[in-house]
Amino acid sequence: MSLINITLIIYIITSVAYIAREVWRSTAAKWISLGLFILAFCFNLTWLIVRSIKAGHPPFSNLYESLVFYACCTALVYIVFEFIYNFRIVGALASVLAMLILLYATLQDPSIRPIMPALKSNWMLAHVITYMLGYGAFGISFITSCIFLAVKPFAKNRKRNEGEKGNEILLINFDKLSYKLVAFGFPFLTLGMVTGAVWAKKAWGDYWSWDPKETWSLITWLAYLAYLHTPLILPKMNISKSKASVILAFWLLISFGIVNFTFVGLNYLPSAADSEHIYGSK
Amino acid sequence: MKNGKQNQSHTVTDLKDTAKQTIQTNRYERKNTNKVWDFFCSVKLAVVIILIMVVACILGTVILQEKTLDEYTAKYGYGLATFFRITQLSNVFHSYWFSFLLVLLCANLICCTIKRWKNTFLQTGFILTHLSLVLILIGGVIKFQLGVKGGVNVYEGKSVNYFLTQLINRQGKMDYIKKDLPFSIALDDFILEKNEPKFQLVSYVKSKDRQKVLDVKLGKKQRVTGSDYRVTIKDYIPDAELHQEPINTSDEPENPAIYVMLMGSDRVAAEGWLLAYDRNYYEDRKQNLRIEYIWLPSREELDKAIVSVGTAQAKLSAAISGQGSFQDYPLELNKVFKIQGTEYTIRMLQYVLNYGDRRPLSEQPPDNPAIQVEVNGPEGPETRWVFEKFPDWDKMHPSKYKNVKLTCNGIASTHMVKNTVRIFHSPDGKQIIAFIKDRRIVETIPWELGKNYTVGDINCQVAITNYFPSFDFKKEVIKKSDEIGIPAILVEVDGPRGKVEDWLFSNNRYATWYPDNNFALVYESTGESIKHFTSKLRIVEDGQTVLEKTIRVNDPLKYKGYVIYQSSYDPEAGSFSGLQIVKDPGIPVVYAGFGALCFGVIFIFYVKPFLRKKPKKETEE
Ligand code: HEM
């Protein structure tokens, strides 16, 4: 069985373990599920290392490799956050997300192609790594927003429960968690964009040429920038606190859609034929 | 309003915290600030601008940008094309309204920064990020106003002192503008370095319509996922050549073949095997002569065949899978035929005798005849090539109308030559040689092995010197060298019909099928790719060489504010080098902005939260 398939299976087992952990709350369950997640991450990472040795270049020269790398970064961000915050059910969905990304990768052309001259640059390395870490954080924030929106109707009276330290508080805190994840990812996204611009300047002579890929990464950046600034105005408008948090959660869902469109969807644009940066569809 | 302000204390986030202060500040200043200033300082404006920019960016990628008016009209029709031009949606990112948006953004950034300016360490990130964006935008304006970007092709050994920029003019046409350089660039040498060719083994399972790349690892048995086929690579030769020696494997006529010699006046003009079930003809264009070997299963059929000259008609056959049998259509170009009982029509666009041969039809050998056919059905027209000799081609290359099966026949023979020698043969030993001229049988005589026959009025003789009832090749693969030349692999396929072994050559474009016709393998090159291309450049000013450098992608040459990039090369002869020439005085400003931006965001999101840890805890309680 290939390394990718093993990784896929461990991600699935991880997801089951996280659900089980909700049922049997114990320290053991907590460490088993987290351990499984870390194991899946390690397998994912091993694939990347093996691949880069085999191919002789960093493992993100085509869509297939980039997607595997994307899955790996999503897992990494999740694991880092689980060490900091009490995450609970998020892990079940985060591993599913990583698994889906990986599954999508397996549908791509896996052949190793020689790397084109423009891709040989350290700026490219910095660019891709920072971007993927940012995307990973946005992926997890997508999940926390989904959970937030799902449990919101059942946790209407947040105020009353606050004293009881019950489940509700934890669940309702998912909006803050989303914000933290975006705050974690946004600097990476910014660094990714800047290093990308510097790289483009070095390779193509222009740091910004309104190429569709560049434009869409700007759209992504603006979407999260808007998310970060909206909390400053929502209180000033006549919008209740709870409505505001729902709007922000929805905005994160859309933004993550934009992230993925920027990553894999650009081939559907009419202007894709002119782009130098879009992964070829063949 | 009040509610909102109170709830502010519940948020623990970095930006949100400050919002509380913002509101308080607003309170203090409300009386003595005017509305315009407030407007330019507001986050509301910021969010609105950001959202409008998002929409503008989406439009700028959904609508094709910076094309000529003709291209727009062809794509969107005249009305929309004009609309795009007037609203500048055809060049969103350089339009007046987008520029206005950026100016507004700048004003917003500057105003809010001035308003919130405090000389505290905690503010560093806020000020840096906001001002960095202003810097980047200013740098962008400098580029737009003073920068130039263009390209020029230089031939080896030549030099240039200008370059060309592209521009869409007011009439919506593409303009090239020549820009002079204050120096000249000489190309001393251009080097194109290619990667070692790589090869891959691709499998195809027809019933699943799935392709998969297999490992080329010696001795390892691998299962083709999702199927019962197992593939083992038994041998590998980096530079192989196939030697085939004809042999006879049995006395039963399983694969009859004859060895024919065509004798000119003083020497053998041509000789070779003709196989009844395979390549059964030889054509000599110069002599206008065609020799055919026709094997017939019985004496009666042979007798019948001798009297009829019916040369095969070129035809296309079509069938829809699961709906009836093949229907034949004569080869008539550009006529629309309906496939009876279906909603499909077909039209033959052109035909060739040797696919890929660029010579005119009359000079092509009939090696790979094909017809280009347009199939029209529910999903619109689609063209494909139909190959006479590779009826399974479309299975290997799936198309829109997979269910439409097309084959063709007899294209080569429509290009009938004047003189035909037809050698008939049947199992009971009857053998007749017939000479046909202008579609009329002139002569028929029995033939024997080893005798010469003068046919008709052409001045050459035909001799049949050997007969193999069961012709086969003894294949021998030999190694030509240790370098990578034409690699070949010996592959064993294990499947429902047992084990089959065969050599696959990387220069064979066609698939090798397993006996059940459901599984195929191709061993092919992944395409030649470019590793590096470099140009050895020399900058000459006032007749003196001032700078020399070998440039490559990612490593340009800089001189007097101009940066010269390696951008392309002559794809055909490799004799010129494509250079991109850029001048952008705004770069230092933009890069300063980039630095400040990176530093700023890291400060806001990674440094500041730790600096404020204690007060934050308090608010949370
Ligand atoms: C990387 C990009 C950006 C980051 C990290 C950022 C961060 C911040 C932060 C931390 C604040 C709160 C400042 C404080 O009160 O201490 C803020 C406020 C603000 N930002 Fe940004 N910002 C960014 C880009 C922008 C952009 C593009 C605009 C739009 C033009 C903008 C407009 C504003 C406005 C109007 C405020 C409110 C200032 C006030 O309180 O009066 N920001 N931003």
Q: How many CA atoms lie within 13 A of B90 on its CB side?
A: 23
For chain A, say whether B526 makes contact (Cβ under 8 Å). yes
Q: Tell me if residue B249 falls in helix, strand or coil.
A: coil
For the CA of B42, the nearest atom of ligand 1: 35
**DSSP per-residue codes, B310-348:** -PPPPEEEEEETTEEEEEEEE--BT-EEE-TTSS-EEEE
Taking CA B212 as the corner, what is the angle to CA B210 and CA B217, rounded to the nearest 5 degrees?
Answer: 155
| Nearest CA-CA partner of B214 in B233, B237, B242 | B233
Cα distance between residue B388 and residue B393, in whole Å: 10
Cα distance between residue A94 and residue A144, in whole Å: 9
In the reported structure, the alpha carbon of residue B19 is separated from the centroid of ligand 1 by a whole-number distance in angstroms of 10
Check the CA dihedral B1-B7-B8-B14 and report its sign. negative
For the CA of B105, the nearest atom of ligand 1: 30
Identify the residue with better confidence: B11 or A48: A48
Phi, psi of B501 (to 5 degrees): -120, 140
CA of A208: which chain B residue's CA is closest? Answer: B140
Contact A241 B10 (CB under 8 A): yes
Residue positions counted in chain B: 621
Amino acid at B526: T
Which A residues, 76 through 95, put their C-beta within 8 Å of a C-beta on chain B? none
**Site of tokens 């960093």:** A58
- The verdict on the CB of residue A229 being under 6 Å from ligand 1 is yes
Q: What is the CA radius of gyration of chain A?
A: 20
Q: From residue B324, how far is each of B318, B407, B408 by CA, in Å?
A: 10, 15, 18
Q: From residue A274, how far is each of A63, A206, A208, B65, B111 by CA, in Å?
A: 18, 16, 15, 10, 38
Amino acid at B440: R
Q: What is the CA radius of gyration of chain B?
A: 38
pLDDT-based confidence at residue A279 (cuts at 50, 70, 90): low
Contact B598 A210 (CB under 8 A): no
Among residues of chain A, what percentage have pLDDT more than 70? 87
For the CA of B113, the nearest atom of ligand 1: 38
For chain B, say whether A107 makes contact (Cβ under 8 Å). no
Contact A231 B4 (CB under 8 A): no
For B239, the enclosing helix (H) or strand (E) is: strand B239-248
Amino acid at A149: L
Identify the residue with better confidence: A64 or B528: A64
For chain A, say whether B532 makes contact (Cβ under 8 Å). yes
**DSSP per-residue codes, B55-95:** HHHHHHHHS--S--HHHHHHHH-HHHHHHHHHTTGGGGGGS
- The verdict on the CB of residue B109 being under 6 Å from ligand 1 is yes
For chain B, say whether A112 makes contact (Cβ under 8 Å). yes
**Site of tokens 């203090």:** B28
Cα distance between residue A216 and residue B518, in whole Å: 43
| Nearest CA-CA partner of A213 in A131, A114, A133, A100 | A131
Q: Which among A183, A208, A210 is the nearest to B60, CB-wise?
A: A210
- The verdict on the CB of residue B22 being under 6 Å from ligand 1 is yes
Please tell me the residue having the least CA distance from ligand 1 atom 37.
B43
In the structure encoding, which two tokens stand for residue B400, read together?
């829109």
Phi, psi of A202 (to 5 degrees): -70, -40
Which A residues, 149 through 188, put their C-beta within 8 Å of a C-beta on chain B? 176, 179-180, 183-184, 186-187
Strands B230-237 and B488-495, sheet pairing: antiparallel
Pick the residue of A120, A138, A213, A232 with the most B CBs within 10 A to test the interface with B by mutation: A232
H helix runs in B8-42, sequence order: 14-29, 35-41
Q: Which among B4, B13, B554 is the nearest to A120, CB-wise?
A: B554
For chain B, say whether A243 makes contact (Cβ under 8 Å). no
- Binned average pLDDT, 10 residues per bin, chain B of 621 residues: 36 45 49 75 92 95 86 86 89 92 94 87 90 95 90 88 84 83 90 80 85 84 85 90 85 88 82 83 78 84 74 75 76 83 86 81 78 86 84 69 82 70 84 80 84 78 89 84 85 90 84 87 78 87 90 86 86 78 93 97 92 50 30
Cα distance between residue B557 and residue B537, in whole Å: 9
Phi, psi of B97 (to 5 degrees): -70, -30
For B596, the enclosing helix (H) or strand (E) is: helix B587-602
**Site of tokens 């993927």:** A132
Among residues of chain A, what percentage have pLDDT more than 90? 51
| Nearest CA-CA partner of A214 in A135, A275, A264, A261 | A275
Q: Which among B530, B584, B602 is the nearest to A187, CB-wise?
A: B602
Which residues does chain A have within 8 Å of residue B1's beta carbon, measured at their own beta carbons? Answer: 236, 238
Question: Residue A1: what pLDDT?
Answer: 64
**Site of tokens 């240039």:** B160
> Cα B176 from chain centroid?
29
Strands B419-425 and B289-295, sheet pairing: parallel
* Contact of B564 with B551, CB cutoff 8 Å: yes
Contact A270 B13 (CB under 8 A): no
Contact B13 A176 (CB under 8 A): yes
The maximal CA–CA distance of chain A, rounded, in angstroms, is 62
Helices (H) and strands (E) in chain A, counts: 10, 0
Q: From residue A151, how far is each of A144, A164, B11 by CA, in Å?
A: 11, 18, 19
- The verdict on the CB of residue B518 being under 6 Å from ligand 1 is no
Sheet containing strand B440-446, edge to edge, reads B281-284, B289-295, B419-425, B431-437, B440-446
Contact B13 A180 (CB under 8 A): yes
| Nearest CA-CA partner of B310 in B219, B196, B416 | B416
In the structure encoding, which two tokens stand for residue B417, read together?
């030559």
Using one digit for the tens of pLDDT, what is the confidence trace for A164-194?
444 444 555 888 889 999 999 999 999 999 9
For B502, the enclosing helix (H) or strand (E) is: strand B498-505
Classify residue B183 as exposed, middle or buried by CB count within 10 Å of its CB (0-12, 13-18, 19+): middle
Phi, psi of A243 (to 5 degrees): -65, -40
- The verdict on the CB of residue A236 being under 6 Å from ligand 1 is no
| B413-445 CB burial, b ≥16 within 10 A, e <16 | bbbbeebbbbbbbbeeebbbbbbbeeeeeeeee
For B291, the enclosing helix (H) or strand (E) is: strand B289-295
Using one digit for the tens of pLDDT, what is the confidence trace for A6-27?
999 999 999 999 999 888 888 8
B21 Cβ contact partners less than 8 Å away, ≥ 6 residues apart? none
Contact A117 B605 (CB under 8 A): no
